[in-house]
Structure 1
């Protein structure tokens, strides 16, 4: 009953089928044994290395190379067995491009893992963030290209799709226009991602202010960037926005930053004691890096004066804590030592009401 599905030059034979099955089992077993031996040797070589990078690369290649060994074994058998050749010629157009793409993708991922490991042991945090950003973007670009090419090769193994491709190549002008219009957003995101990797306006871990949101860059993809704010919200920003619009990067070269604390006091306040207390507190605080510690009167109004207490710290997180501590301490000190310096509009209104009541 199977004769009608076989080519005319092939006749079904149980003996031949058994022989083919045994030959197939033998070559598959030989491929698996060879794969095990090769990777046993590679693991032994990796164990003698001073870093785990070699082992990471070999582990990435373990599964795809196992199936590649099997495919090579079947190809060798197909050259000698017509039955296997008939089946293999049908599926090889899908299997071989898929395996090549899988191996290439695994190699790219292995090198990505190796580069990320070398980045983790770097002592320079800014350089490490820079390398991590480039690795992430270029890795995703390579993944996109490998998957696209592999899918194209697999589809072109289908005769109908191949004919459509030839027809499109014949009318290349119209096809290029249509494909260009359809792929414009994808190409724009791809180019924007590559620009981000080369120019590095921001990197993973940078503290940025974009669209009124302040947070750390958590993830950079080809089409969007995720910024994690202090309250754990994830702000999704298109990648092209960082190239087309302005934004603030607070940790471009390092995390050393200067920030202000503002005090609004009564115009009759004696400023010098406030300055001395500010300097005393600052010199005693462990988070101050001694780069900036200046108090200036930046505004003077009939109702109040504004004092700007500028301080600096080694990291952005330390600066935030230092500013909070300074603000809390100065208000408490003023309340205790110089209560007249604090503005009391509410108390003045109550005193005026009392005087009015007394006159009545």
Structure 2
């Protein structure tokens, strides 16, 4: 009879404890929804970007953290044994650390949203914005890594066995540091290269680069590698150390405007002034030219051809590419239609009684 009474008493305590925990969690859920309901009403009237970003990014982590906080507060009132309460307290502490780390990670997203709202990267002259976004991207990734590392360390140190193990490892920290340093030297080098790239900025987000003979834009900069989106939508992945140790071309280092060139190879009989006037006419008739620089010069004279260089300016590398293609096509068509004799020729001399002295082969 006594065992039955004790068993029933335990069931009563369990039911009361579960009721308290459920009520605490529900209270936390209600408080969370009230807070976000008030924020939603505030957003509908004033629509501040900060509050909207907070509600969008912190909705899910706070839906987990606030009920968990109420559960933690209710633990001392549970009719359980000290051992069970201690187990529940340990579990809630671990979950609290995870939830708080989640909130901190989402706060980095809030900071990113505020910067993106303040500075628009989609305008033509966006060097300042790209510089800021490059630093922000790297610092965000670094902050998230540090938050996850500290949260993991706090969770592990909450266990006595791990804490004792850590105390023992401290005595051999020098040897362990040397071993870890050799094992992770490439990762450490990439991390230091990332810090150097973020602040010296030889490259930035959306920079136009020519690397390994490939033309592309910087799409992403992580803590270990850089992603280039090439002109045909392929992705070129390069380690951060590459941009510290090897040369590359950055077409948008100091500005997005660029000079475009087109080379033509013609016969010596080409009327240069006529081609120059045609270039000016082509540029005046297109919006791709920004009206800053234009010109055509004879830049070289080879054995069989003259080298003509057409020079023109554009607002960006993408526009410059289209402008080069347009000018090249139009100038070749102009020479074909008006001066076909000025196309490149190969001249040969034949010696014989019934053969002309000189023949031209187009």
Task: State if a TM-score over 0.5 links the two structures.
Answer: yes
Mapping 1:210-359, distance limit 5 Å? 210-345=211-346
Q: SS at 1:235's partner residue?
A: strand
Distance 1:332 1:353 in 2: 36
Mark the CA change 1:186 to 1:336 in structure 2 (over 3 Å): closer, same or farther: same
Distance 1:355 1:12 in 2: 130
Contact 1:267 1:301 in 2 (8 A): no
Q: Name the structure 2 match of 1:6.
A: none
Which stretches in structure 1 are left out of the alignment for 5+ residues?
A: 4-9
Mark the CA change 1:235 to 1:158 in structure 2 (over 3 Å): closer, same or farther: same
Contact 1:190 1:223 in 2 (8 A): yes
Mapping 1:27-38, distance limit 5 Å? 27-38=24-35
Deviation at 1:50, TM superposition (A): 4.2
- Please tell me whether residue 181 in structure 1 is matched to residue 171 in structure 2: no
Which stretches in structure 2 are left out of the alignment for 5+ residues?
A: 358-362
Instruction: Describe the superposition over 1:48-104 as per-residue Cα deviations: whole angstroms up to 9, x where unpaired.
Output: 334433112122112222222222222222123252623313413422221221121
Query: Aligned pair count?
Result: 348
Deviation at 1:12, TM superposition (A): 6.7
Mark the CA change 1:355 to 1:281 in structure 2 (over 3 Å): closer, same or farther: farther
Mapping 1:122-133, distance limit 5 Å? 124-133=125-134
Instruction: Describe the superposition over 1:237-282 as per-residue Cα deviations: whole angstroms up to 9, x where unpaired.
Output: 1112112222111112322111211111122333232222223333
Q: Name the structure 1 match of 2:152.
A: 151
Distance 2:194 2:145 in 1: 12
Q: Name the structure 1 match of 2:89.
A: 89
Deviation at 1:352, TM superposition (A): 5.8
Mark the CA change 1:74 to 1:121 in structure 2 (over 3 Å): closer, same or farther: same
Q: SS at 1:343's partner residue?
A: coil
Contact 1:260 1:310 in 2 (8 A): yes
Mark the CA change 1:53 to 1:343 in structure 2 (over 3 Å): closer, same or farther: same
Distance 2:167 2:351 in 1: 93
Distance 2:265 2:93 in 1: 76
Q: SS at 1:252's partner residue?
A: coil
Distance 1:73 1:221 in 2: 38
Q: Name the structure 2 match of 1:23.
A: 20
Mark the CA change 1:310 to 1:189 in structure 2 (over 3 Å): closer, same or farther: same
Q: Name the structure 2 match of 1:7.
A: none
Distance 1:335 1:71 in 2: 79
Contact 2:267 2:343 in 1 (8 A): yes
CA RMSD of aligned residues (A): 2.7
TM-score between both structures, scaled by the size of structure 1: 0.87
Deviation at 1:333, TM superposition (A): 1.3
Q: SS at 1:168's partner residue?
A: helix
Equivalent in 59, 63, 75 of residue 62 of structure 1: 59
Q: SS at 1:290's partner residue?
A: coil
Greater displacement, 265-274 / 32-41: 265-274
Q: SS at 1:302's partner residue?
A: coil
Q: Name the structure 1 match of 2:100.
A: 100
Mapping 1:64-79, distance limit 5 Å? 64-79=61-76
Distance 1:82 1:19 in 2: 7
Q: SS at 1:120's partner residue?
A: coil
Q: Name the structure 2 match of 1:114.
A: 114
Mark the CA change 1:354 to 1:202 in structure 2 (over 3 Å): closer, same or farther: farther
Greater displacement, 276-285 / 22-31: 276-285
Distance 2:353 2:139 in 1: 75
TM-score between both structures, scaled by the size of structure 2: 0.87
Q: Name the structure 1 match of 2:360.
A: none
Q: SS at 2:118's partner residue?
A: helix
